[in-house]
């Protein structure tokens, strides 16, 4: 449960514009004040997190939704960077990817991803999954809130 002195900051790292749009749509349907920032490659994601360049005014996210298959720097590398940085390490990272590879799953958990979800292929299931994320991470689970 989140105490709402301010909208929840969500960082979505997703290169598929349509997937990002769908996810955004799903979140918008939920009754939760939030800011969803969409970043479409790994390098930009790192800059965003370090508030570098044009992202210097960007807030530190409360939760990160990370795709694995990203241009320039893939999701695993981004995850590794987050985990190596003490100031970022306590941000929950949810992997949301099309890959169901056992190797990816293992690798992500090894690098302390907080949860690994595959993108469902039907829109109905997709909506359900986003709903579950909302329910669990924003309503049930306690996350650090700065």
Partner 1 sequence: MFLKLPILVKLFFANEVWGENLVWLRGISGIAIALTDYFVSLLLIYGIYRREDRSFTLFLWLLTVFLLSGGTIHIFSLANIWQPHYWFWGYAQVLTAIIALIATIWLFFAIPQVGDFPSSQQIQHISNLLTQELDKCQSLDSKISNLNTQLEQKIDERTAELEQVNQKLTTEIEERKQIESALYRQIQLEQLIGYLSHCFVNIAPPELSSTIQKALNFISKCVGVDRSYLILFTQQNNKLQVTQKWSVPEFPSLSEWEQEIESKFPWIMTNIKSNVIVNLPELDHLPTEAERERVYLTTHQIQSLLIVPLFYGTTLKGIVALEALNQPKSWTERDTQLLKLTGEIIAGGIERCGQAAELANRTQQLEASNAELQQFAYIVSHDLLEPLRSISGFSYLLQEEYQSQLNPEAQEYIDFIKDGAARMRELIEDLLTFSRLGRQNLVLSQIDCEEIIQEVIANLAVAIAETNAEIHWVNLPNAIADRTQFIQLWQNLIANAIKFRNPKSTPKIYISATQKSQELIFTIRDNGIGIDSEYTEDIFNVFRKLHNHQQYPGTGIGLAICRRIADLHGGRIWVKSIVGKGSTFYVSLPIQEQQELGNEDDN
Q: Is 16 in the site for partner 1 (CB under 8 A)?
A: yes
Q: Please compute, for residue 33, the number of CA atoms within 13 A of its CA located in the half-sphere on the CB side.
A: 6
- Greatest CA separation found in the chain? 40
Question: By CB under 8 A, what part of segment 72-101 binds partner 1?
Answer: 98-99
Residue 126 binds partner 1 (CB under 8 A) = yes
Taking the least distance from each CB to partner 1, the nearer of 31 and 124 is: 124
The candidate with the shortest Cα–Cα distance to 45, out of 26, 64, 29, 30, is: 64
Smallest distance from partner 1 to CB 5, Å: 32
Contact flag: residue 40 with partner 1 (CB under 8 A) = no
The stretches of 35-136 forming alpha helices (DSSP H) are: 42-49, 75-84, 86-89, 102-110, 123-133
List residues near partner 1 by CB under 8 A.
Answer: 16, 18-19, 21-22, 25, 98-99, 119, 121-124, 126-127
């Amino acid at each position: 449960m989140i105490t709402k002195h301010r909208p929840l900051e969500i960082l979505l790292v997703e290169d598929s514009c349509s997937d990002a749009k769908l996810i955004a749509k799903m979140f918008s349907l939920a009754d939760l004040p939030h800011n969803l920032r969409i970043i479409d490659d790994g390098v930009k994601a790192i800059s965003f997190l370090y508030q570098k360049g044009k992202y210097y005014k960007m807030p530190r996210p409360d939760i990160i939704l990370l795709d694995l298959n990203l241009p320039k720097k893939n999701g695993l590398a981004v995850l590794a960077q987050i985990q190596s940085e003490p100031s970022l390490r306590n941000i929950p990272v949810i992997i949301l990817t099309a890959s169901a590879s056992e190797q990816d799953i293992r690798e992500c958990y090894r690098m302390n991803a907080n949860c690994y979800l595959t993108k469902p292929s039907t829109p109905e299931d997709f909506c359900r999954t986003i709903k579950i994320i909302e329910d669990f991470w924003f309503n049930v689970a306690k996350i650090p809130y700065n």
